[in-house]
Amino acid sequence: MTDIFIEGGRTLIGSEFVETSLSVSGTDIAQVDASRGRARLAIDARDLLVLPGIVDLHGDAFERQMMPRAGVDFPIDVALADSDRQAISNGITTVFHATTCSWEPGLRSADNARSLMEAIERQRPQFAADTRFHLRHETYNLDAETEMSHWLAEGRVDLFAFNDHMDGVVADISNPRKRNRMVERTGLSSEDFDRLVGHIVSRAADVPASVSRLAAVARSAEVRMLSHDDATPAMRTEFRALGADIAEFPINEETARAAANHGDAIVYGAPNVVRGGSHTGWTRASDMIAKGLCSVLASDYYYPAQLLAAFRLAADGVLPLAKAWDLVSAGPARATGLADRGVLAAGRRADILLVDDTVALRPRPVAVISGGKLVHLTDATRLLPAAAVPREAVVVA
């Protein structure tokens, strides 16, 4: 692996930006305030920001690569390769593909979740980003419990989330636009979709015991758990008792505050920040951040959002950039137990992002280093001439 030297740059060290240089050796940062030494590859980072790579613990934008239009499928390997390029080009060096395992057939079915998991495992060595599997279990998907238990026990799941969208599905059935979208996604006829929903709802009494059993398997396997769209402090308390100490998108301040009071990680969507509010009309993420009720921003459904959100928070005076960056790098690294990344320090994984911030609110990634490899470069003039390497003396007998 080629050693890399990053010359100059306003580098985020701890909570401050410092003009310094970094050296990378192997997969790790070798030294801060370094000299070039014998590094063959050097990048001029002067006038750029040098930041830890983004960690995305919940991103499902890959679904659009799999099914860009309702009923139009593309091969999973092609979709994942394209998603990897999108993630890296937006500074995401660690990505958890948030894969829904639902009672629905089609895009979010258990069969598709299995195929995605297997494809990630198969293609992982080819990806530029460190790519992991975030399994989003729709709790009414009782038929998949046994198989998911095996996945958890076998160490094939990196994050495990409990989702319950059943109330929303039942409510949306009477909304023609939303209903049509759901039916198209499943590939069922309208009548068959109604019959399926009726069957799933009829098994509601069996859901709590299933959730408890799966949580016990996840705890035994030491898989970190999340609960999704917690609606009340009581709901957050119930999931925390099961071991789910990451609150993903709590839908009101009361629930987010209850999570914060117990030290839970709190996740909101970065698109919410960029757009100035939730597309569902729920909690405004910037307000939660200003109140100290958010520790992680995820890409959710749009890979550019984390990078844009950090700069938006700084521009709006919600947080200084160093603290805003914590929400997209060190914060999600802590929440997912990845202690080797999220900060720029000797001995940490060399996930590094060089950003041109000259245009307000439009940060532009210039170079991305992932696990010690230069995997993205938009400006070749930033490459410095090769260092001269002294020839070894030749001994004549």
Each residue's pLDDT tens digit, 20-44: 999 999 999 999 999 999 899 999 9
Q: Tell me the pLDDT tens digit for each residue of 309-342.
A: 999 999 999 999 999 999 999 999 999 999 999 9
> How confident is the model over 94-119, as a mean pLDDT?
94
Q: What is the 3-state secondary structure (H, E, C) of 70-123?
A: CCECCCHHHHHHHHHHHHHHCCEEEEEEEEEEECCCHHHEHHHHHHHHHHHHHH
Percent of the chain with pLDDT over 90: 83
Q: Tell me, what's the pLDDT at 345?
A: 98
- Which residue would you say has higher pLDDT here, 112 or 176? 112
Q: How confident is the model at residue 394 (pLDDT cuts 50, 70, 90)?
A: very low
Nearest partner of 302 among 272, 341, 333, judged by Cα:
272
pLDDT at 392: 53
Residue 386's pLDDT is: 80
Region class of 361: left (phi > 0), else alpha (psi between -120 and 50), else beta: left
Q: Averaged over 372-387, what is the pLDDT? A: 94
Helix (H) and strand (E) counts in the chain: 15, 18
What is residue 167's predicted lDDT score, i.e. its pLDDT?
77
Handedness of CA 370, 374, 380, 383 (dihedral sign): positive
Q: Which residues contact 344 (CB under 8 A, 6 or more apart)?
A: 11, 12, 13, 22, 29, 32, 50, 51, 52, 352
The answer, yes or no, to whether residue 112 has pLDDT greater than 80, is yes
In the chain, beta strands by DSSP E: 4-7, 10-13, 16-19, 22-25, 28-32, 41-44, 49-52, 54-59, 92-101, 130-138, 159-163, 224-228, 246-248, 265-269, 296-298, 352-356, 364-370, 373-377
Q: Is the pLDDT of residue 382 over 70?
A: yes
Rounded to two decimals, what is the model's pTM?
0.92
- What percentage of the chain carries pLDDT values higher than 70? 97
For the chain, how long is the longest CA-to-CA vector? 92
- Nearest 5°: CA angle at 370, between 366 and 375? 55
- Residue 345: its H or E element: none
Q: Residue 306: which of 90, 158, 99 has the closest Cα?
A: 90
Strands (E), 112-212: 130-138, 159-163
Q: Are the C-beta atoms of residues 84 and 118 closer than 8 Å to each other? A: no
Question: Model confidence over 192-231: pLDDT tens digits?
Answer: 988 998 999 999 999 999 999 999 999 999 999 999 999 9
Strands 265-269 and 296-298: parallel
Tell me the angle at which helices 110-123 and 76-89 cross, rounded to the nearest 10 degrees. 60
Q: Which residue has the higher pLDDT, 279 or 363?
A: 363
Query: What is the per-residue pLDDT for 296?
Result: 98
Number of other CB atoms surrounding residue 134 within 10 Å = 24
Q: Quick check: helix, strand or coil at residue 10?
A: strand
Average pLDDT over residues 162-178: 82
pLDDT over 80 at 174, yes or no: no
Please tell me the predicted confidence (pLDDT) of residue 27: 98
pLDDT at 168: 75
Spatial distance between the Cα atoms of 177 and 378, rounded to a whole number of angstroms: 41
Digit-coded pLDDT (tens) for 56-71:
999 999 999 998 887 7
Q: Scanning the structure block, which residue is given the tokens 């521009």?
A: 315
- Here the tokens at position 4 are 């890399």
- 197-219 b/e (C-beta count within 10 Å ≥ 16 → b): beebeeeeeebeebbeebbebbe
* 253/234 Cα distance (integer angstroms): 13
Sign of the CA dihedral running 138, 140, 146, 147:
negative
Give the Cα separation of 221 and 156 in Å (integer).
Answer: 10
pLDDT band with cut points at 50, 70 and 90 for residue 184: confident
Question: How far is Cα 208 from Cα 330, in angstroms, rounded to an integer?
Answer: 33
Return the pLDDT at 166: 81
Please determine, for residue 9, whether its predicted confidence score (pLDDT) is greater than 90: yes
Tell me what the mean pLDDT of segment 96-116 comes to: 93
Q: Given this model, what pLDDT does residue 181 score? A: 80
Domains in the chain, ordered, with CATH? 4-52+344-382 (2.30.40.10), 54-335 (3.20.20.140)
| Residue 298, amino acid | A
Strand partners, 369: 352, 374
pLDDT of residue 227: 98
CA dist 80 and 116 (Å) reads 9
Cα 112 to Cα 367: distance, rounded to the nearest angstrom:
34
- What pLDDT, on a 0 to 100 scale, did the predictor assign at position 177? 83
Residue 393: band (very low, low, confident or very high) from pLDDT cuts 50, 70, 90: very low
Question: Using H for helix, E for strand and C for coil, what is the string for 252-276?
Answer: CHHHHHHHHHCCCEEEEEHHHHHHC
Confidence of residue 244 (pLDDT cuts 50, 70, 90): very high
